[in-house]
């Protein structure tokens, strides 16, 4: 956590005041006010995409990598506008997290999936929650925290120290312990040994990860969940919190992955990492507008790979279709 020095004061004070202001708005007014921001974010995305595509990046390029030809240009543009609205609502919801209490969490979030996590915790080995930047991942962790789950969460620190100070304080107010994702695995192993929950977002590009299918292409994928499972024996739960409507969410378990003690180390790591990616891909297909499409998910490529004539990496599977 950044020190509470003068560098943190401007951004921290601004975000604290903004949070206090937005938190008291009635929900219908707050969501209506964010609608214009959603349109602006969508238009900005469409304006930037051609420039980013020349550097093999961009939201609509990622959509082509995820769904192949299952989405035409018109469908991708519609998805961009739905994505812009999601981003605006996500920002609003994060600013309003200070209002979250156990009672409010139960009212806003369908948490029946948490009972599955509690049942796995009763086995005594802890639980590894593998999630991603899907739905409202901040609400997922905070709701679990205020409802009594002992959890340690890895997160990427923000580059602005004041914003990082504000966000970490916001997160830890719910009872979760937040560590930098650039630390070691020892603290996570200790949390699992104590029968707690460890939370990881594993849908970012991993330069030193394993290449497994995600969407229609291979993607460098973080294998931390598989490594933790190997040393702890804890089950992995692929879990997200999807928005159903304004201020209505549902936690959903997409997969439960158990270790295979008879498998070799490399084969087991590859299997578990691929299954985690498959669970997150199921969440992506079900709610495509609620993923963070600006991630550089497919940036790192396997050695020797040759791009196709369309400038995209070669496909590895039939293109999945987003749910209707």
Assign 9 to helix, strand or coil: helix
User: Euclidean distance between the first and final Cα of the chain, in Å?
Assistant: 42
Q: What is the pLDDT of residue 181?
A: 83
For residues 148 and 137, what is the distance between their CA atoms, to the nearest angstrom? 17
Q: What is the pLDDT of residue 324?
A: 46
Q: What is the pLDDT of residue 175?
A: 87
Task: Identify any residues that bridge with 135 across adjacent strands, giving them in sequence order.
Answer: 241
Q: What is the pLDDT of residue 320?
A: 58
Q: What is the pLDDT of residue 115?
A: 96
Q: What is the pLDDT of residue 1?
A: 45
Task: Identify any residues that bridge with 197 across adjacent strands, giving them in sequence order.
Answer: 127, 151
- If 0-12 CB within 10 Å is exposed, 13-18 middle and 19+ buried, where does residue 103 land? exposed
Show the beta-strand stretches assigned E in 57-190.
Answer: 109-110, 127-131, 151-155, 177-180
Cβ-contact 227, 238 below 8 angstroms: no
- What residues in the chain have per-residue pLDDT under 70? 1-4, 184, 317-324
Distances (CA, A) of 307 to 61, 142, 164, 210, 219: 14, 41, 38, 19, 14
- pTM value? 0.93
228-282 pLDDT, tens digit per residue, is: 999 999 999 999 999 999 999 999 999 999 999 999 999 999 999 999 999 999 9
Dihedral of the alpha carbons of 181, 116, 238, 250, in degrees to the nearest 10: -100
Q: What is the 8-class DSSP label of residue 216?
A: T
């Amino acid at each position: 956590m950044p020190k509470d020095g003068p560098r943190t004061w401007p951004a921290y004070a601004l975000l604290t005041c903004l949070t206090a202001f937005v938190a008291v708005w009635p929900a219908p007014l707050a969501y209506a006010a964010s609608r214009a921001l959603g349109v602006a974010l969508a238009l900005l995305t469409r304006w930037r995409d051609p420039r980013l595509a020349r550097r093999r990046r961009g939201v609509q390029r990622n959509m082509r990598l995820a769904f192949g030809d299952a989405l035409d240009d018109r469908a991708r543009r519609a998805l961009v506008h739905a994505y812009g609205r999601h981003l605006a609502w996500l920002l609003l919801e994060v600013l309003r997290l200070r209002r979250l209490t156990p009672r409010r969490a139960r009212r806003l979030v369908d948490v029946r999936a948490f009972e599955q996590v509690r049942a796995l915790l009763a086995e005594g080995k802890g639980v590894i929650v593998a999630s991603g930047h899907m739905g409202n991942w901040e609400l997922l962790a905070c709701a679990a925290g205020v409802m009594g789950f002992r959890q340690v969460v890895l997160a990427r620190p923000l580059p602005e120290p004041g914003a990082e100070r504000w966000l970490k304080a916001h997160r830890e107010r719910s009872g979760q312990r937040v560590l930098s994702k650039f630390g070691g695995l020892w603290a996570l192993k200790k949390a699992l040994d104590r029968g707690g929950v460890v939370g990881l977002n594993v849908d970012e590009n991993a330069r030193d990860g394993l290449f497994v299918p995600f969407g229609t292409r291979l993607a460098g994928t973080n294998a931390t969940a598989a490594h933790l499972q190997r040393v702890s024996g804890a089950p992995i739960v692929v879990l997200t919190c999807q928005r159903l409507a304004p201020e209505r969410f549902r936690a959903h378990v997409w997969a439960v992955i158990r270790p295979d003690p008879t498998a070799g180390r490399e084969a087991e790591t590859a299997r578990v990492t691929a299954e985690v990616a498959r669970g997150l891909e199921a969440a992506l297909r079900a709610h495509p507008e609620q993923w963070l499409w600006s991630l550089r998910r497919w940036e790192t490529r396997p050695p020797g790979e040759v791009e196709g004539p369309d400038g995209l990496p070669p496909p590895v599977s039939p293109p999945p279709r987003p749910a209707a």
